[in-house]
Amino acid sequence: ARITLRQLLDHAAEHGYGVPAFNINNMEQGLAVMEAAKDVDSPVILQASRGARSYAGDIMLGRIIDALEEMYPDIPLCMHQDHGNNVATCLSAIQHGYTSVMMDGSLKEDAKTPSDYDYNVGITAEVARLAHMVGASVEGEIGVLGSLETGEGDAEDGHGFEGKLDRHMLVTDPEEARRFVSETKVDALAVAIGTSHGAYKFTREPTGEVLAMEIIEKLHQVLPNTHLVMHGSSSVPKEWQEVFNSHGGEMRETWGVPVDEIVRGIKHGVRKINIDTDLRLAATAAMRKVAVTDPSEFDPRKFFKPAMDAMRSVCRQRFEAFGTAGNA
Ligand code: G3H
Ligand code: 13P
Ligand code: NA
Ligand code: ZN
Ligand nearest, relative to CA of residue 114: 3
Q: Which amino acid is at 107?
A: L
Please name which of 227, 206, 235 lies closest in space to residue 269, comparing C-alpha atoms. 227
Measured between its terminal Cα atoms, the distance across the chain in Å is: 10
Which atom of ligand 2 is nearest the CA belonging to 158? Answer: 2
Mean pLDDT of 44-63: 98
Please name which of 328, 234, 326, 320 lies closest in space to residue 283, comparing C-alpha atoms. 234
Position 159 pLDDT exceeds 70: no
As a whole number of angstroms, the distance between CA 200 and CA 150 comes to 11
Report percent pLDDT > 70 for the chain. 98
pLDDT band at 142 (very low <50, low <70, confident <90, very high): very high
Domain boundary assignment for the chain? 5-321
Average pLDDT, rounded, for the chain: 97
pLDDT band at 29 (very low <50, low <70, confident <90, very high): very high
Position 2 pLDDT exceeds 90: yes
Query: Which of 58, 66, 82, 294 is flagged as catalytic?
Result: 82
pLDDT tens sequence across 126-139: 999 999 999 999 99
pLDDT band at 163 (very low <50, low <70, confident <90, very high): confident
Write out the binding residues. 83, 104, 141, 197-198, 231-234, 274-277
State the distance from the centre of ligand 2 to the C-alpha of 191, rounded, in angstroms: 13
- Whether 258 and 235 have beta carbons less than 8 Å apart is answered as yes
Position 156 pLDDT exceeds 70: no
pLDDT band at 12 (very low <50, low <70, confident <90, very high): very high
Question: Cβ contacts of residue 17 below 8 Å, gap of 6+?
Answer: 266, 322, 323, 324, 327
Residue nearest (by alpha carbon) to ligand 1 atom 1: 156
Which CATH homologous superfamily contains domain 5-321? Aldolase class I (3.20.20.70)
Which pLDDT score is estimated for 247? 98
State the distance from the centre of ligand 4 to the C-alpha of 197, rounded, in angstroms: 6
Which atom of ligand 2 is nearest the CA belonging to 278? Answer: 4
Angle at 236 between CA 231 and CA 240, to 5 degrees: 150
Write out the binding residues for dihydroxyacetone phosphate. 198, 232-234, 274-277
Which atom of ligand 1 is nearest the CA belonging to 276? Answer: 4
Mean pLDDT of 283-298: 98
Ligand nearest, relative to CA of residue 51: 1
Which pLDDT score is estimated for 157? 62
DSSP string of 35-54, one letter each residue: HHHHHHT--EEEEE-HHHHH
Ligand nearest, relative to CA of residue 281: 2
Pocket test for ligand 1, best of 157, 201, 230, 257 (most atoms within 8 A of CB): 157
pLDDT band at 155 (very low <50, low <70, confident <90, very high): confident
pLDDT band at 91 (very low <50, low <70, confident <90, very high): very high
Write out the binding residues for Zn(2+). 83, 104, 141, 197, 231
Is residue 82 part of the annotated active site? The answer reads yes
pLDDT tens sequence across 229-252: 999 999 999 999 999 999 999 999
